[in-house]
Every structure is written in structure tokens, then in C-alpha cells.
């Protein structure tokens, strides 16, 4: 018996047991396989991509539950990667730029209007502040700030 990770044309993934690899080819050719989530008969072997992760259970019973757990793991991994990227960006910012706290809008204006030597700054701004800065044509970026666990 061979356990295959399969997916339909809509990317629903599920698992199914086959007697051997030829049994899968035969059943797939005759459209005898269908997706448990949407009923699609366009089934192919899923690539065992790293995104699936090793914690996906390999229960031999095909069920739509498997699809859910795969999606959850993917989302978690992407969130973790995104958080890592943000932390790298934050590290770069904190090393290269001066922290101005709540005075961000004020400092950004000073730099924009040439009142001080241009330098990188970062800090907090209210939505009012950012709206005004945009209206004045002052360029800046907003990024979600990941708080350090013990800060
Ligand atoms: Zn499907």
C-alpha cells in the first residue's frame, strides 16, 4: 500500500491509499478519484513542498479535516516568515534611524522643509498625523511594528 498526498484543481489537499503506484495512475486516468472537499475529478499528486511541514498528520482516512489542518499550518508558517521579515526590517530601522517617539510628524516636517539635516527617523504617528503628512507630500512608510516579547 502507498499513501499519496493528492490535490484537486482548486488546490484542496487530501490523502489516499493505493495498492501500488499503477493503481493510482489507473484510477486517476478513469476519473475514479474525486476531491472530498469539492468533488472535482481533476486530481493529481501533490508536490511534497516544504510548506506542508512535517507536522501534518498522515492519517490514512481522506477527509476534509486534512485540508483544514494543512491550510492552518501554511498560514502559521507564512505569518512566522512575515514576522521574521518585519523584525529584520525593524532591526535595520532601529540601527540606522533616530527614534523620535511621538514627534514623528514634527520631525518629518523639519526634514522635509530643510530645517534640519536630512536623516532617517522613526517613531509613532497618529492617523491624523499621517493624513496631514500625506497631504503635504511628505514621504514616509508605515510598517506594522512587532513588539519584542519582553518589552
Ligand atoms: Zn477540491
pLDDT at 48: 59
- Report, as an integer, the average pLDDT of 134-141: 86
How far apart are the CA of 67 and the centre of ligand 1, in A? 9
| CA 14/CA 37 separation, integer angstroms | 9
Calculate how far, in angstroms, residue 106's C-alpha sits from the geometric centre of ligand 1: 53
Q: Which residues are close to ligand 1, an ion, with C-beta < 5 A?
A: 8, 10, 12, 35, 37-38, 40
Question: CA 57, CA 126: separation in Å to the nearest integer?
Answer: 45
> Above pLDDT 70, what percent of the chain?
77
Distance CA 33, CA 31 (A): 5
Residue 47 pLDDT > 80: no
pLDDT tens string 93-126:
888 888 888 888 898 899 889 998 888 888 888 8
Give mean pLDDT, residues 39-49: 82
Kindly report the pTM of this predicted structure: 0.45
Amino acid at each position: 500500500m502507498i499513501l499519496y498526498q493528492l490535490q484537486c484543481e482548486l488546490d484542496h489537499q487530501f490523502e489516499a491509499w493505493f495498492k501500488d503506484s499503477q493503481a493510482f495512475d489507473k484510477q486517476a486516468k478513469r476519473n475514479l478519484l474525486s476531491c472530498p472537499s469539492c468533488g472535482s475529478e481533476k486530481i493529481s499528486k501533490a508536490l511534497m513542498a516544504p510548506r506542508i511541514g512535517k507536522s501534518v498528520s498522515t492519517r490514512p482516512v481522506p477527509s476534509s479535516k486534512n485540508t483544514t489542518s494543512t491550510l492552518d499550518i501554511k498560514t502559521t508558517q507564512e505569518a512566522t516568515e512575515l514576522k521574521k521579515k518585519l523584525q529584520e526590517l525593524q532591526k535595520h530601522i532601529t540601527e540606522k534611524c533616530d527614534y523620535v517617539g511621538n514627534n514623528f510628524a514634527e520631525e518629518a516636517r523639519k526634514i522635509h522643509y530643510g530645517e534640519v539635516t536630512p536623516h532617517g527617523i522613526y517613531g509613532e504617528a497618529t492617523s491624523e498625523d499621517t493624513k496631514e503628512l500625506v497631504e503635504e507630500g511628505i514621504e514616509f512608510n508605515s510598517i506594522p511594528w512587532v513588539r519584542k516579547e519582553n518589552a
